[in-house]
Amino acid sequence: MGDTGIILNITDSSARAPYRRAGTWQQSKGVKRKFSNVSKEPEAKRQPAPPSQKYQSKNKLAERNKGKNSPSKKTTSVASEENQKGRPAVKTSSLFKNNPEVPAIERTKITQLQEQVFSSDSFSELELHPHLVSTITNVLNMTHMTSVQKRTIPVLMSGRDALVRSQTGSGKTLAYGIPLVQALQGVTPKIQRIDGPYALIIVPTRELALQSFTTIQKLLKPFTWIVPGVLMGGEKRKSEKARLRKGINILISTPGRLVDHIKSTQSIHFTRVRWLIVDEADRILDLGFEKDVTAILNALNAQCQERQNVLLSATLSQGVTRLADVSLHNPLSITITDDSQTEAQRAVTDLLEPSQQSDGETSSFAMPEKLRQHAVVVPSKLKLVTLAAFILAKWKCEKKTKMIIFFPSCELVEFHHKLLSSILELIDKEMQTHSKAFFRLHGNMEQEERTEVFQQFTQARAGVLFCTDVAARGLDLPQVTWIVQYNAPASAAEYIHRVGRTARLGAQGSSLLILLPSEAEYIRILADHKISVSEMKMDEVLSNLLKMDFLEIKRVGIKKSQASDPQAVRERATVLQTKFEDYVHRSPDTALCAKRALQSYVRSYATYPKTLKHIFHVRSLHLGHVAKSFGLRDAPHNLSQQLAGNPKHLGKAGPRRANVHKKMKAKQKFSDLLLSEFSSGFSPKPKKAKHDTNQKIET
Residue 176's pLDDT is 96
Residue 555's pLDDT is 58
Burial class, 442, CB count within 10 angstroms (exposed 0-12 / middle 13-18 / buried 19+): buried
Determine the Cα–Cα distance for residues 565 and 558; give it in Å rounded to an integer: 13
Residue 277's pLDDT is 96
Residue 240's pLDDT is 93
632: DSSP letter: -
Residue 282's pLDDT is 85
Q: Are 278 and 209 in contact, with CB atoms under 8 Å apart? A: no
The H or E element containing residue 20 is: strand 19-21
Query: Averaged in consecutive runs of 10 residues, what is the pLDDT profile of the chain (699 residues)?
Result: 42 42 43 42 49 49 49 41 44 76 79 67 90 94 88 94 83 93 94 95 92 95 96 87 95 95 92 94 86 94 91 84 90 72 38 37 65 94 95 79 93 95 74 69 90 90 91 81 95 87 82 96 90 92 85 61 72 92 94 94 93 93 93 78 44 39 40 43 50 42
Alpha helices for 529-587 (secondary structure H): 538-542, 566-584
Residue 350's pLDDT is 39
Q: Are 197 and 272 in contact, with CB atoms under 8 Å apart? A: yes
Determine the Cα–Cα distance for residues 454 and 441; give it in Å rounded to an integer: 8
Determine the Cα–Cα distance for residues 125 and 150; give it in Å rounded to an integer: 10
Residue 220's pLDDT is 96
Q: Write b or e for each residue in 92-128: b if 16 or more Cβ atoms lie within 10 A of its Cβ, otherwise e.
A: bebbbeeeeebeebeeeeeebbebbbbeeeebeebeb
Residue 362's pLDDT is 44
Of 459, 452, 448, 470, the closest CA to residue 402 belongs to 459
